[in-house]
Structure formats: C-alpha cells, structure tokens
Structure 1
C-alpha cells in the first residue's frame, strides 16, 4: 500500500541531507531526471535516487506516494518546461505550432524520462495548464467544442507519440542508432527495382529523410486539417 503523502508545509527536513541539501519536490524531480539520464528509464529506483540525493530512500515517501507518483511528477516537469519556453502571439496556427514543437523539444531534452512518462496522464498543475492552453487556442480560433476536443486529442497525442518515438531512438546507444540510420543506405537503397520498384525509386529520398523526426511534417498536416475545419465554419485565420 502506498504511504500517505505528507502535506507540503510539513515536508521540509529539519536537517539537510548528507550532501547538505534541504529536499523539496523540485529537487527530487530534477535529481530523478539526472538519474534517468545516467541509468535509463528502467534504472530509476528509490534506492538509487536516495543515494543521488544523499538521503535515505524512505525520505522520498514524505514527498510522493510512491515511485509511480514520482513518475507523474517527472512528466509534469517536462510539460512545465515546455510551457515555460512558449509565448502566445494571438495567431492560433503559430501558437499551436510553437507549443507542439516546445512539447516535443522538452521531452527530447530528457529522452529517458520521455520514454517513461510520455504515455502517462499526470493530472498535475503544469500538464493541466498545457491542456487548458491548447483548448483555449482552439476555442479562441472559433472551433466548436466537439471539433476543438477532437483536434486537442489529436494534437497532444501526436506530440507525445512522436516524443516517445524520437526519444526511444535517442535513448539507444550511439552504435545502435547509427546502425539503424545506415540501414536506409545499406539495405533499402540496394533493393532491386524489379522486386521493389517504389522503394528503389525513392531510396535516395528515404535515406535523406528517415533519420530525422517526422513530427514537424505531421504537425503541419494537423494544422492544415484544423485550418480547413475553421474555413468550413467561417472562423479563424492563419
């Protein structure tokens, strides 16, 4: 059974950790990001995190109900970092594009954390703020609520799905990632036109494009779709 979380006002330690740090949720989450970077998405444990903090592992349960609760907090931190680097312009299309790219970039900055958290719903304040912002952009552009929710659903799932996919590639060893990327030239480009005419015709293009993320292109497709919906309703521009 998960332990009860101590209220925020009662969480501050009377004494610093062995490293001289007074713990907080923010310090624990940022240390967890470092542990993930060093040990991968399966390497985050209470024992390892406690060692990195210079604290007994049980101390973590004064701040989080369990490791799953910490995982949600890590996802919320990534959402917060995305929103912190974004500014509204009032142009729905530019704002959605910038926010999507900010979410994608925030997760790719911490690929091991992205692999761990991209599929989670945290229910925490910064994730909620991102969701409120997206829906506000769409409703403000003039989309009826059912359409706004459909686009929101596609937008956030697309952003996180590509974040997880691209983060998975970044989390590979350099050797494995390079081998995957070379496959387009070592295997696909050598397929004969007689048996694989379409791949053979486009092999040079595939080799150039496939090692890169398709997220920007997919995002533009979604924005085009949204613009078409707004045109049909006679609302919005951009």
Structure 2
C-alpha cells in the first residue's frame, strides 16, 4: 500500500459494497483480525481484504495509509478490547493485576494478530488511554514519578512479552503443540536423579506447571516487588488505594 490515504471528509463510502455493507475503519479492522486469525499474517493484504469486504481493494486507502497503518490500528484495537469496561477498585495492586490479565487474554484470543502487533507502539486512542490508566494507578498509589514510569515499563513489557510468547505457542500446529508438551513427561521426567537431581525431584511439578502460561505467577512476582518498593518508600501509609478513572473502550467482538 502506498501513501494515498483520502482526506477525512471524503473517506466515508456512500454506497454499500457488493455484500451490502458500508465500509468503516472498524469494519476493516474487524475483517483484518478475522482474516489473520483464519489464515495467518500473510492474509493481511489489500487484495484479500477487498475481496472479503466485497469492495475494490483501493477503497481501503480511504481509511489507512498503508498496511502498517492498518496493523497499528489492529494493535490498538486489541488494547481497547483488553480494557473494555474496566473500572478501578481502589486497590492499586488488584487494578494492575486485572489490567495485566486482560491484556494477556486479549492477545491470546487473537494469537496470530498478537505475533504481528504485541511489539508495536501505536500512539492511538486505546493505547493512550491504557498508558494514562496504568500511570494513574501507580501515581495514585503513591509511587514517585520516576518509579511509576519504570514500573509501568516493566509491567507493560512483561504483559506483552508473555502475550507474544504464549501466542507463538498457540499458533503452532496442533501436533507440534502436543509434541512440545510431551517433552516434559517423556524426557525430563525420565532423567536420572544421580545426574540431574533437581529436575528429577521436581519433574512431576514441571510436567503439570509447564502446561499453562507462566504469566499470572510472573505478574504476581512483579507486583510483589512493586509493593515492597512502595512499602520501603512510604511504610504502611504507602499501601493506600488508588483514585483513578474508569476506562471504557470498544466492546469486544
């Protein structure tokens, strides 16, 4: 796609497509997400989008400058879906945990898109709202600004890093997923205790735990560390609740 986006006043298509729908940014993003989910990253082409929408591929230029512009919109949509109807509880730790789990779940619901989008910075509506909400929770809890920014950075990178890692596993063919999981009981659980005493002692736990994402526990570890730092800064007074604004974005579909 080239840099040929149509000015805002002329974007809206006045006639329905061949399938009887009126194009919009939302419809194009939803369709792109569906195509990526069904056919992988290679499906994100203007030609395929146009065919699925029942429109001339050039119509996409009315809404997006390029394929990368569309990809950033997809990334922002996943962030928005993660935070739909989220409301602060007044407990900064519970609020951050809820946000982190929502982000991770949103990307797991669209693993093919997560591989394309989890590492991108959009600077768009939903991402801006997310940054504001997370920093609001941290500053409201009593973290100094530099500490709030550093915890925000670690928190978001951890959430998106696990989202991308777990998404990569989900996009493997079913046979490969099964084979990877079988490595733990078939290989690690059979190692000799004389040569690998620590693996042998914990093999039954490894076999069980490695079947699920390590993100929730990693998130708790990060929050434990943040809470310890807050306590060191303010003592017991530092564990006060957060005053933050509810964040409502696009409903998930």
Give the TM interval when normalised to the shorter protein.
Answer: over 0.9
Task: Please name the residue that 2:82 is paired with.
Answer: 82
Q: State whether structure 2 residue 239 is matched by structure 1 residue 236.
A: yes
- Work out which structure has the larger RCO, using CA pairs closer than 8 Å and 6 or more positions apart in sequence: 2
Write the distance in 2 (CA, Å) between the matches of 1:169 and 1:100. Answer: 19
Deviation at 1:85, TM superposition (A): 4.1
Task: Please name the residue that 2:124 is paired with.
Answer: 124
Deviation at 1:72, TM superposition (A): 0.4
Write the distance in 2 (CA, Å) between the matches of 1:49 and 1:4. Answer: 17
Write the distance in 1 (CA, Å) between the matches of 2:137 and 2:4. Answer: 37
Deviation at 1:232, TM superposition (A): 1.1
Deviation at 1:236, TM superposition (A): 2.4
Deviation at 1:2, TM superposition (A): 3.1
Superposed, 1:188-207 pairs within 5 Å as 188-207=188-207
Q: State whether structure 2 residue 158 is matched by structure 1 residue 155.
A: no
1:182-201 Cα distance to aligned partner (Å, 9 max, x none): 11111111111222221111
Task: Please name the residue that 1:15 is paired with.
Answer: 15
Superposed, 1:10-159 pairs within 5 Å as 10-159=10-159
- Give structure 2 stretches of 5+ with no counterpart: 242-253
CA contact (8 A) 1:82 1:103 kept: yes
Deviation at 1:153, TM superposition (A): 0.2
Provide the secondary structure at the position in 1 that maps to 2:195: coil
Task: Please name the residue that 2:211 is paired with.
Answer: 211
1:92-122 Cα distance to aligned partner (Å, 9 max, x none): 0110000100111111111111111000001
1:54-73 Cα distance to aligned partner (Å, 9 max, x none): 11222111100100000000
Q: State whether structure 2 residue 223 is matched by structure 1 residue 223.
A: yes
Deviation at 1:9, TM superposition (A): 3.2
Write the distance in 2 (CA, Å) between the matches of 1:72 and 1:128. Answer: 13
Write the distance in 2 (CA, Å) between the matches of 1:109 and 1:47. Answer: 25
Write the distance in 2 (CA, Å) between the matches of 1:33 and 1:51. Answer: 15
- Which segment is superposed worse, 137-146 or 12-21? 12-21
Write the distance in 2 (CA, Å) between the matches of 1:117 and 1:14. Answer: 31
CA contact (8 A) 1:41 1:116 kept: yes
> How many residues of Structure 1 are paired with residues of Structure 2 in the alignment?
238
Deviation at 1:214, TM superposition (A): 0.5
